[in-house]
Amino acid sequence: MLTGSIPLTSSVVVEPVTAEDSDPKAPYAVPTLMVTTVSHSVSAFYAYSRWLASDQIAFGIGMVGYSVLAAVGLWCILFASSNGKISRKTGADKRTAGFPFRNQEAPKKHSGKKSS
């Protein structure tokens, strides 16, 4: 949320924070987002464990709030940053490799094409 990926006001911000290399705040955007996402995830787990132990509704509400913030942070890391690993067009993971499973469909798709 500190990266500017989610607007906190209804007005248009003149200079939003971007993940581009030319932006002076860019080196800090994604690491800050990762730290806050991990923090909210840990806090959600702690609130969940306290809720199981004490059955107090405040811990349950806190767990839901922290979980929502952690989910929004994860979404921003995956889709709102320029170095996200999930394709915006197809939703596929761009880091896939052949180990330990091979892609059986790729050779079928490309069998009629001529390689240069």
Per-residue pLDDT of the chain (116 residues; tens, 9 = 90+): 555 666 666 666 566 655 565 655 666 777 888 999 999 999 999 999 999 999 899 999 999 999 999 999 998 888 776 655 666 677 666 656 666 666 666 667 667 666 55
pLDDT the model gives residue 18 = 59
46 part of a folded domain: yes
29 part of a folded domain: no
pLDDT the model gives residue 78 = 81
63 part of a folded domain: yes
Token code pair at residue 46: 């702690």
Q: How far apart are the first and last CA of the chain?
A: 46
Q: What is the DSSP letter of 93?
A: B
Report residue 86: phi and psi, to 5°.
-105, 130
pLDDT the model gives residue 32 = 87
What is the extent of the structural domain holding 50? 35-82
67 part of a folded domain: yes
Classify each residue of 77-110 as buried b or exposed e, where b means 16 or more C-beta atoms within 10 Å of its C-beta: beebbeebeeeeeeeeeeeeeeeeeeeeeeeeee
Q: What is the DSSP letter of 55?
A: -
24 part of a folded domain: no
Is pTM, for the whole model, over 0.75? no
59 part of a folded domain: yes
Structurally, the chain folds into a number of domains equal to 1
- Is-contact 42 48, C-beta < 8 A? no
58 part of a folded domain: yes
